[in-house]
Structure 1
């Protein structure tokens, strides 16, 4: 079948999309050719579906985009068509077991071998330009790290650059990196199931945005495996069943899903993009830290975005990175490699040479209901709350996978709950700018060892509304419990950049769960996927002489900008 020329209607859609996303004007039209890419040998051979976009003129470079979300419609618009209309040749390929590609999807397990095979096939084609780059967000970022993994990874003279938006390098951390399974993997499984059966991208996304109540019913039931299987009409993806019944993030089952090797091998220029409300933020920051420590050329952009919004708001950045490092039609930008949005600030966008900027430490000490700069000097009773898995502490004011836009959701309601401890400062006499990772130390004990701990750092505005700034959730290792004596928890919170305004207050919330974002701890020690029993847990936080609980804030120096 001959390549198909872009239609007039698609040209209008492309230009409208480019205008709404502040992209430079088109330089060419393009054609689309549907191809099948052979993977494997003999009886194991399968074919992956792909669309080849070719500009009508000579291409300025080749892009490889691999996706489990289908290769047509809305996804093609933002991941292939806008680049083809600006001179790039694009191979947009469906991962195995998705779209029209053959085989079965088992997330993370085949992406390295499949990616290497696609590159080998691409190199043998007469249209190949001799080098390429990769782009993509979320799972499409994970497959980029898969391509950089192993001894067969493309050399830098072939693979010139990458743009990874909100992409994990470790799927195991996404599934259960806190020790508790993220319910977002169930949401993602439904997304793939719907797209596999032919639902449109827009209808699927709309469903997922409105499914919170239905999902809550699913994850509230026990055992979870039975509830999920009923939700999927007894056709639960096998890999999802495995995730649900493998709660230990160190389980060897997850080893193929960990691509730390890519961070140790990469030498190409990589643009990293995330948002302060992106649940992939911790992994992106780990990527930045590891890659920059090795001297890999990296840029980092962090906006006031959710997971989806971070992928939608950075098309010009992606195109500029490709023009510089693949097409080489533009010089490298003179701006520093880190660009961040400081929440609560105006103006909000700043550039700096590295992250984090210079800071000094400010310590706030916990005492009953309060945070202050004064350490405890007299005996005070501990703070105590009870977590009930039958009525678990809800996920409020925190990031999820399909949040849209710039997220600003209050967590005020948590402070009124009996199963949440609240520690709040007096109104601040001046602005307080925090950049980096806050550190929380808790002298913590529990009535039994099978518990979770959630810590939220929030800002309370003068009207009393509270908004989360940073957090940390962890399922505690039962083997390290010290019984009634408790343990010292050193919790490094997620990176943040926030200006607490004069008159606002700093708040620390401590809870025993964040359900359904993280599947609740049953409190019985049973497998959370198959367990049925539930047991309450009494949590105690001490804040006295000899047992000082505190939060250390990385406060920006006035001279850093």
Structure 2
């Protein structure tokens, strides 16, 4: 590189191919290629399963260990540093200067790799003609570091340990026997194990992600090694829009909070030809998490073939009909159907359901002057160790899911509707408005939308969470187009609760598309902790007062798509 740092690059192409080809680049901290214990192992080609199919289809695929990772030299002093992004531009210029290049480049990546692609695009290199950003963030603070202001304890510790193991070239410590039986770490450059050892030794100075995150609890906290805004594509959206390069965003309903990230990317960088797909998937798309799916295969959607179609269309000008595809495609769980739309969210009608006596959820606004429920928080309440948040770093291959949520009885307070007389499809962004008080200054709020079957079993649909210090909505506009109530998460806007003082708190749940079937009930569960995923407040536990009265009517607003008849029945139900 321009400063003398050597980066590890692997070029995959068809043998003896003399034609000039477009290139697809992947910049990764997760090892650009693995050293196979058995020669010829087909899985040793790199971190993306698309590589082989892309090469056979006539692309050159280039993978790069970003500086300070894998077999590359240098130090990763911060995530997505200016040096790292300059490296990306420099490597692209090197690629298009090669005799096998036709001058066109596509960028692809899942998770960190996808964010790297988007931030490199912001640099404006004219060779970049298409970007596929899969299962990746748009706002780092709000979607992965501290969603709702809540520290992502499990993710930060797990991902920090995983990347530390990769940087030390001991991936088996995080990935276990299944990995070590087949692979022996990162692929050295041209077999040079001495250079590899030297590069790995230099990685000891890399940033400690967990320590950096806990040192910056507010969104406006800035540190040389850690800036949530700088590493977020929303901060670079104007430069990205100026490129006019199409971005294909893909995410899943159980991909942590990244489905909303994909939606925000689509809305805020509407470059010509951009697409959005939201499936029933975990992070990376390996599992179909729809509770009504018969198996965990990828929701009858071939992600590998889709990436090939996209790059074929954009880099080879192939008339494969991709341009005729709907801008938005999304999967409705329990209808088990794909739907199409021109934009997001699809048109809907709001169904408001109010907290009611006897743990009911009613379509009628309360008329009582007084009413409410006291709830003492269970600090060990949890959404489990196979949650959407675990999905972010699932090296053990855990089957993501929530099981029967009756397991949390006694740790949540729940309100449920009468049985539905017909199906109700909820697609979009549910919004909860709670009128509540607490007897302690510190607190957390977790709200779950759930489905109660006729046999009483309870299925998770989606959730929202909030550190109550950030309960107040910002008076300033959001820095990007948003579909939900905006909080700054800034240090100056944080306030402790005033014990005993009722306040209105609005909380959006993560977007979903789900069919509540006939005979089922809609349930809202409320907790004050998710101990397995977010750092809980210290004891003693607070007691919340949830209001359900005429002038303090707590409710959930559900975006109902299609037939509203069953929802209307709930509104008529006393």
Q: TM-score range by the shorter chain?
A: 0.7 to 0.9
Looking at structure 1, the residues matched to 414 and 205 of structure 2 have their Cα atoms a distance apart, in angstroms, of: 43
Deviation at 1:84, TM superposition (A): 1.4
- 1:166, 1:281 within 8 Å by CA — same for their partners in 2? yes
Structure 2 regions of 5+ residues with no counterpart?
A: 35-42, 180-203, 288-297, 470-493, 565-574
CA shift, 1:115, in A, is: 1.8
* 1:309-362 alpha-carbon deviations (Å, 9 max, x no partner): 25975111111000101111234422312111100104x112222222211111
In the other structure, the counterpart of 1:458 is 450
| Count of matched residue pairs | 473
Structure 2 residue aligned with 1:167: 136
Tell me the TM-score normalized by structure 2.
Answer: 0.77
The structure 1 residue matched to 2:211, chosen from 238, 241, 245, is 241
Contact 2:21/2:101 (8 A) holds in 1: no
Selected match of 2:69 from 79, 89, 98 = 98
Q: Which residue of 2 aligns with 1:485?
A: 501
Q: Which residue of 1 aligns with 2:121?
A: 148
Deviation at 1:235, TM superposition (A): 10
User: Would you say the 8 A contact 2:412–2:525 is kept in 1?
Assistant: yes
Residue of structure 1 in register with 2:27 after alignment: 66
Q: How does 1:431-446 map to 2 (within 5 A)?
A: 431-446=423-438
Query: 3-state SS of the aligned residue for 1:485?
Result: coil
In 1: Cα distance, 2:416 partner to 2:285 partner: 31
1:448 and 2:409 correspond:
no
- Residue in structure 2 matching 1:298, options 274, 277, 284: 274
What is the 5 A alignment of 1:51-450?
Answer: 51-55=10-14, 56-57=16-17, 58-73=19-34, 74=43, 75-76=46-47, 78-105=49-76, 106-110=78-82, 111-149=84-122, 152-155=123-126, 158-173=127-142, 174-182=144-152, 183-199=154-170, 204-206=174-176, 238-253=208-223, 254=227, 255-266=229-240, 267-279=244-256, 280-292=258-270, 295-309=271-285, 314-333=303-322, 334-346=324-336, 348-368=337-357, 369-387=359-377, 389=379, 391-393=380-382, 395=384, 398-399=387-388, 400=390, 401-402=392-393, 407-413=400-406, 415-417=408-410, 419-450=411-442
Cα contact 2:75–2:206 (8 A) shared by 1: no
Distance 1:482 1:296, change over 3 A: farther
CA pair 396-241 structure 1, distance change in 2 beyond 3 A: closer
- CA distance in structure 2 between the aligned counterparts of 1:556 and 1:184, rounded to whole angstroms: 33
Q: Tell me, yes or no, if the aligned pair for 1:396 and 1:410 is still in contact at 8 Å.
A: no
CA 1:321–1:406 in structure 2 vs 1: closer, same or farther (change >3 Å)?
A: farther
Q: Shift of the alpha carbon at 1:437?
A: 0.6
- Counterpart Cα distance in 1 of 2:134 and 2:525: 30
Aligned partner (choices 535, 545, 555) of residue 550 of structure 1: 555
* 8 Å CA contact 1:59, 1:89 repeated in 2: no
List per-residue Cα deviations over 1:68-93 (Å, max 9, x = no partner). 11122444451433311221011100
Aligned-pair Cα RMSD in Å: 2.7
The 3-state SS of whatever aligns with 1:429 is coil
Residue 8 of structure 2 corresponds to residue 49 of structure 1: yes
Distance in 2, Cα, partners of 1:82 & 1:431: 41
Query: Which consecutive unaligned segments of at least 5 residues does structure 1 have?
Result: 1-37, 210-233, 523-533
Secondary structure of 1:428's match? coil
- The alignment's TM-score, normalised by the length of structure 1, stands at 0.78
Q: 1:296 offset after TM fit, Å?
A: 4.0
Cα distance in 1, alignment partners of residues 560 and 465 from structure 2: 22
Separation (CA, whole Å) in 1 of partners of 2:230 and 2:81: 6
Alignment partner, residue 536 of structure 1: 541
Matching of residues 521-532 of structure 1 within 5 Å: 521-522=537-538
